[in-house]
């Protein structure tokens, strides 16, 4: 069985600030509706961020992203939480 660290190192620096927030909340196991209300954004936006997280981290599913979030929470929290915007 493939482990996360063995083959593809996870590069959390590719995530935007909002994606980091969503990733950390995925570990809670809550539904997208709750995550959206918690962050004050649309449920559709949560789905878009989740899809982007899965793609950027080369994961297979939202569930796998939630597991990664739980396992690497300290590393993820160490990232700059401010959303990155183009100037």
pLDDT on residue 78:
85
d(CA 87, CA 84): 9
The four Cα atoms 27, 28, 32, 36 give a dihedral, to 10 degrees, of -100
Instruction: Report domain 14-76's class.
Output: mainly alpha
Domain residue spans of the chain: 14-76
pTM reported for the whole predicted model: 0.81
22-36 residue pLDDT tens:
999 999 999 999 999
Q: Where does the chain have alpha helices with state H?
A: 4-7, 17-26, 32-39, 43-56, 62-71, 73-77
The answer, yes or no, to whether residue 7 has pLDDT greater than 80, is: no
Query: Residues of the chain with pLDDT > 70: what percent?
Result: 82
């Amino acid at each position: 069985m493939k482990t996360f660290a063995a083959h593809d190192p996870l590069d959390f620096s590719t995530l935007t600030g909002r994606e980091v927030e969503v990733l950390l909340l995925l570990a809670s196991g809550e539904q997208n509706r709750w995550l959206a209300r918690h962050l004050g954004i649309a449920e559709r936006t949560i789905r878009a961020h989740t899809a982007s997280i899965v793609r950027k981290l080369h994961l297979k599913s939202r569930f796998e992203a939630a597991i990664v979030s739980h396992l690497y929470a300290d590393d993820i929290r160490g990232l700059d939480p401010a959303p990155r915007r183009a100037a």
